[in-house]
Amino acid sequence: MSSATPAAAAPDTVLVVDFGAQYAQLIARRVREARVYSEIVPSTMPVEEMLAKNPAAIILSGGPSSVYEEGAPTVDRSLFEAGVPVFGMCYGFQLMAEALGGRVDNTGAREYGRTALTVCRPSSTLFEGTPAEQSVWMSHGDACSAAPEGFAVTASTDVVPVAAFENDERKLYGVQYHPEVMHSTHGQQVLEHFLYRGAGLSPTWTTGNVIEEQVEAIREQVGTRRAICGLSGGVDSAVAAALVQKAIGSQLTCVYVDHGLMRKGETEQVEKDFVAATGVQLKVVDAEERFLTALKGVSDPEEKRKIIGREFIRVFEQAQAEIIAEAGESGEPVEFLVQGTLYPDVVESGGGTGTANIKSHHNVGGLPEDLEFQLIEPLRKLFKDEVRMVGQELGLPEEIVQRQPFPGPGLGIRIVGEVTKERLDLLRDADAIAREELTAAGLDREIWQCPVVLLADVRSVGVQGDGRTYGHPIVLRPVSSEDAMTADWSRLPYDVLAKISTRITNEVRDVNRVVLDVTSKPPGTIEWE
């Protein structure tokens, strides 16, 4: 975007200024949950560019820096003098305090995690209708010890005298904690008070708006040309394909790559259910031998992801050539590749402001540098539950919309060790048993997903049929999550776990042990690789 002519934001847009926060996108999501449209902008964007977007309100995110640290992100005081309602959170709160003449000190009084907050002005704009004592989520070292002139202090903690303040006349508000996380018990209510009461916004934005905006943007981008979509059978690619098809219709061809890394029944579901639901043009490519050959001898998870990403693109390019040849000389070129990339994919691949590369997703960090397609990623700024809502709005069937997440690289990253056809078949059988029993127990909606992992390079001694065995362990990884940014292991009933374990060790060859992963995220990721 040119700094000379910044694009105007949509009406009633809230800008979330990202100061390198872990939760910047979560803030934007919480705003959307309040049915107000939001966009994220980097803290490096000049204030005049932010204001040129004509935002209805601005939220300053948290961040890992100290306001007094050399080179720390900052914000020009003019932002607070523009008449736009502003809400500072954590680091953003401290920036507002410091810029407007308040005092921020490194007192050594750090607060991390759950903290008791005392509301001293219960009728204030932010806190009216919330308890005088409430639990909030803190993560800070510095603290605001004096509010700027003209600001009313509205809350405090045992160690921080100014944990929240507001100036209704100037429409400036701030809290030291993170209202966007679930651990802040009344955080969403406080955020909505800022949006509705402080900024005077109305809750009118819906997933229907997402569809309308993306359809318009896709039509403008593609024109009369054509696109292909990498369809995996998962909810992300299915919703992306349905959204793009709504925009350009028969100009889209979906390509399903059967790379041999799918679960049981995956190919049949795509060929039957998705095509029946959407009427999309589908091209199925049998590429199992190609992928297994490329993965031969490879155990490193990062290398696996990059290989799978590279081979996906090569197959799409082959499909592109075939589609062009089928259309003949009069056909429009195939220039676009549709992907179901979500925001958590971008963050974990190092694509967020100030974020580390945790692992390369095949559709982000795993793409080859010589990519010839222009990408269409209509879901790139959405979380999984938002994608499901878009899918429902588009009329996709429940069995597709509510399908548990499954990674694009498939079972290739659920085998710890080299990927071979024999190991894939073994894992497919174990995974199918786990899915069958979870469905039979009615637990599909209670867990986010349950990766089943084969520890291919590990063996353990067991006893089966009165004889010694030396087989592989299978790991069950049931997790509960709201957005895949954080997760906790699901407390499944023991009888369900016992049935899954018994069936796998009885029915799947070379497996003599089933173990349960009880690690949260962080420190672990949802997938093992």
Position 466 confidence tier, pLDDT thresholds 50, 70, 90: low
CA 86 to chain centre: 26
Q: Residue 363: which of 299, 296, 311 has the closest Cα? A: 311
Q: Please tell me the distance from the alpha carbon of residue 443 to that of residue 432, in angstroms, as a whole number.
A: 15
Position 1 confidence tier, pLDDT thresholds 50, 70, 90: very low
Q: Could you tell me if 313 and 287 are in contact, meaning their C-beta atoms sit under 8 angstroms apart?
A: no
Residue 363 has pLDDT above 50, yes or no: no
pLDDT at 230: 80
pLDDT at 331: 67
Percent pLDDT > 90 in the chain is 47
How is residue 142 written in tokens?
A: 């510095």
Q: Could you tell me if 102 and 147 are in contact, meaning their C-beta atoms sit under 8 angstroms apart?
A: yes
Q: Which residue has 């961040």 as its token pair?
A: 63
Q: Which residue has 């204001």 as its token pair?
A: 51
pLDDT at 354: 38
Position 112 confidence tier, pLDDT thresholds 50, 70, 90: low
Q: What is the mean pLDDT of residues 328-343?
A: 79
Residues annotated as part of the active site: 90, 178, 180
| Strand pairing report for 38-42 and 14-18 | parallel
pLDDT at 268: 80
pLDDT at 111: 59
DSSP 365-411: TTS-TT--SEEE-TTTT--HHHHHHHHHHTT--HHHHTPPP--TTGG
Q: Please tell me the distance from the alpha carbon of residue 238 to that of residue 174, in angstroms, as a whole number.
A: 40
Q: What is the mean pLDDT of residues 146-158?
A: 92
Q: What is the mean pLDDT of residues 300-319?
A: 88
Q: Between the CA of residue 178 and those of 19, 114, 137, 181, 441, what are the distances in Å?
A: 14, 10, 6, 6, 37
Residue 372 burial (CB count, 10 A): 11
pLDDT at 499: 97
Position 454 confidence tier, pLDDT thresholds 50, 70, 90: very high
Q: Which residue has 């914000």 as its token pair?
A: 75
73 SS3 class: coil
Residue 129 burial (CB count, 10 A): 10
CA 317 to chain centre: 27
User: Higher confidence at residue 157 or residue 343?
Assistant: 157
Q: Could you tell me if 393 and 39 are in contact, meaning their C-beta atoms sit under 8 angstroms apart?
A: no
Residue 245 has pLDDT above 80, yes or no: yes
Residue 122 has pLDDT above 70, yes or no: yes
DSSP 291-356: HHHHHTT---HHHHHHHHHHHHHHHHHHHHHHHHHHH-TTSPPEEEEE----HHHHHHBT-STT--
Q: Which residue has 């809230």 as its token pair?
A: 14
| Number of helical H runs and strand E runs in the chain | 15, 22
Q: Please tell me the distance from the alpha carbon of residue 84 to that of residue 151, in angstroms, as a whole number.
A: 16
User: Higher confidence at residue 62 or residue 10?
Assistant: 62
User: Higher confidence at residue 233 or residue 145?
Assistant: 145
Position 485 confidence tier, pLDDT thresholds 50, 70, 90: low
Sheet holding 252-258, edge to edge: 281-286, 252-258, 226-231, 334-338, 374-376
Position 83 confidence tier, pLDDT thresholds 50, 70, 90: very high
Q: Between the CA of residue 355 and those of 18, 347, 369, 493, what are the distances in Å?
A: 11, 7, 21, 36
Q: Which residues contact 279 (CB under 8 A, 6 or more apart)?
A: none
Q: Could you tell me if 229 and 338 are in contact, meaning their C-beta atoms sit under 8 angstroms apart?
A: yes
Q: What is the mean pLDDT of residues 376-389?
A: 87
DSSP bridge pairs for 288 = none
DSSP 468-494: EEEEEEEEE--EE-SSSSSBEE----H
Position 6 confidence tier, pLDDT thresholds 50, 70, 90: very low
User: Higher confidence at residue 484 or residue 309?
Assistant: 309
Position 109 confidence tier, pLDDT thresholds 50, 70, 90: low
Q: Please tell me the distance from the alpha carbon of residue 340 to that of residue 262, in angstroms, as a whole number.
A: 17
Q: Could you tell me if 381 and 345 are in contact, meaning their C-beta atoms sit under 8 angstroms apart?
A: no
Q: Which residues contact 75 (CB under 8 A, 6 or more apart)?
A: 17, 43, 47, 60, 95, 99
Residue 208 burial (CB count, 10 A): 11
User: Higher confidence at residue 66 or residue 215?
Assistant: 215
Cα-based torsion angle of the residue sequence 451, 361, 387, 481 in order, rounded to the nearest 10 degrees: 40
Position 357 confidence tier, pLDDT thresholds 50, 70, 90: very low
How is residue 355 written in tokens?
A: 């974020």
Position 273 confidence tier, pLDDT thresholds 50, 70, 90: confident
Give the tens place of pLDDT for each residue, 29-80.
899 999 998 888 889 999 999 999 999 999 999 887 877 778 888 889 999 9
Position 280 confidence tier, pLDDT thresholds 50, 70, 90: confident
Count of CA atoms in the C-beta half-sphere (13 A) of 223? 5
DSSP bridge pairs for 375 = 337
Q: Please tell me the distance from the alpha carbon of residue 403 to that of residue 122, in angstroms, as a whole number.
A: 44
Residue 465 has pLDDT above 80, yes or no: no
Percent pLDDT > 70 in the chain is 88
Residue 277 has pLDDT above 90, yes or no: no
Q: Which residue has 């997760």 as its token pair?
A: 487
